[in-house]
Chain A
Amino acid sequence: MSEQASGGAVANAKTMTIIVTKGSLDWAYPPFILATTAAAMNVEVTMFFTFYGLTLLLKKLNLQVSPLGNPGMKMPMMGMHIGLPNIVGAIPGVDAACTAMMKNLIQKKGVASIEELRAAALEADVKMIACQMTLDLFEYKMEDMIEGPTVGGAAAYMEQALKSDINLFI
């Protein structure tokens, strides 16, 4: 009997924590992909959302990706990979166009949306902690956020991290 009755959590499970610090469309993926996959592999996961990462908990997500200062971002177009020089990336509307292009690709390639992965994480009992200091700093309220996360600070995160097998900073 390795499974407990509640939610399929496994006794003596491995544990992982992820510090989520970035709030752009591209950088939202690694933490949610790893959290949901780890949970599917019976790992107990805690995500700590701080600084721009906190915005990934907002009820309504409007994630953007920017080619500005992002030389690795090359979009597949007409059989090539096209990157934008910073001077073009700085033009108003270019971020929006790149975001639309990225979302189109995400859909076309069967990649999950962040909303979908976030819902899957909650469903898999991934624990989420919203950083209290960041809430204060950027003037957000927990009412702005989805149901599920608790509020905590660095010590709340550290308590979990100290006993975890894997700790990631993304």
Chain B
Amino acid sequence: MADQVLDAKGLNCPLPILKAKKALKDVPVGGTLEILATDPGAVADFNAFCRATGNELVESTQDKDVYRFLIRRAG
């Protein structure tokens, strides 16, 4: 189970990233945030976001129209 879950379904660029950034602040260092999104652009965006911020993209999966990301907060 992730430490926090963010439902970003129905939101478009850049809202999933902005809300994830905000939600990560409430996740302990080393803890995880699970994000659910329907924006197909979120796949490339969460990859880029994690590469640029040093947070770890642990999982990126898709179930029908819903994309699920698991991010581990870096220090």
A positions within 8 Å CB-CB of B: 1-3, 8, 33, 36-37, 40-42, 109-112, 120, 124
Contact = CB atoms under 8 A, between A and B. Distances in A.
Contact of B18 (A8, A36, A111): A36
B75 A41 contact: no
B14 A8 contact: no
Contacts of A8: 25
B75 A2 contact: yes
A120 B53 contact: no
B17 A37 contact: yes
Contacts, number: 41
Given A110-B12, A111-B15, 20 more contacts: A2-B54, A2-B75, A33-B13, A33-B14, A36-B14, A37-B14, A37-B17, A37-B18, A40-B17, A40-B18, A41-B48, A41-B52, A41-B53, A42-B52, A110-B11, A110-B15, A111-B13, A112-B11, A112-B18, A124-B18
Given A36-B18, A40-B17, A111 B49 contact: no
Interface footprint category on B: 10 to 19
B10 interface: yes
Interface of B: 10-15, 17-18, 20-21, 25, 39, 48-49, 52-54, 75
A40 B18 CA distance: 6
B12 A111 contact: yes
B53 A42 contact: yes
